[in-house]
Structure 1
Amino acid sequence: MTLRAWRGDITALAVDAVVNAANSSLLGGGGVDGAIHRAAGPQLREYCSKLGGCAVGEARLSPGFGLPARYIIHTVGPIWRGGAQGEPEQLAACYRNSLALAEQHQLQSLAFPAISCGIYGYPLEAAARIAVSELRSGLGAAAHVREVLLVGFSAEQDELYRRLLDA
């Protein structure tokens, strides 16, 4: 199993599933969520409207529609409120539940964005540490998942992922 950093546009990746940092409605929004919805096309919003939303920390699966990825795993990260409102546990659950859903559907390759780090305000380094820790521990138990990319949209995100993965 490989866990590595990759810099670029998550919507361009031909992996089994891209992870969407969604909002609880699953109907699209800003940041990576909006980019994934635009790239996947209107069928994604229609499909997601039937899923009944998603709670913070949980994950849902949809087809990739217009994306090169076969599937989209939607997970809802916490809004940063200072860190004492359960945010670290909720963010860790996003990674665990996304990985579990991928394993359940026998997906082999995944790409994760920096969940909760955009408009939700989660500090990038703290979020990246949780991502690397949860994925490293979860991948040992994943029989099907072979490759996970931590996608940095900015140079700062990419460098941070690379530093943490080398540690």
Structure 2
Amino acid sequence: MLLCLGSLHGWAQQNDQQQLRGLDDQVQEIKSDVLSIAQELNRLEEKLLYPSGTQVAIFVTLAKGDQMRLDAVRLQIDGQFVAHHIYSFKELEALRKGGVQRIYVGNVATGDHKLEVLVDGKLEGGADFSRTERFTFRKEVKPKMVELTLAGPSSGNTPIALGEW
């Protein structure tokens, strides 16, 4: 009788473990589905908020080999403040290694627009550095991608250069 009860107890435990594994598999599948749906919603939201016909994206890069410590970048488009970013040590290191930061994505009408860029930082010797540049860019019916390449004045590069992708 004890032997029968022992094997019945073992069978019940094994059955419970199989049910738990099956439940765990279902939970993992649901998590995967939720993540997939969230990704799709984010993509659709971005398409809705920033239609390609009016979309402009601005990216920040550092000139190769530049050792300026970038502290902050502020952007205005057509006199409207659109972005401000204060850089952490890790972000600065990523930019120095060739990283690219998307600082702004928004909508503008087709035509010419004025972009004002203010850069604050410190030079290698510790002196404060602040530079403001104004550019004009033309927005067509397709998405516009603008690159701002930043450099300290001692690097020999233009402190703020505008490029288009």
Q: TM-score, normalised by structure 2?
A: 0.24
- Compare CA radii of gyration and give the structure with the larger one: 2
* Structure having the larger proportion of residues in strand: 2
Q: TM-score, normalised by structure 1?
A: 0.24
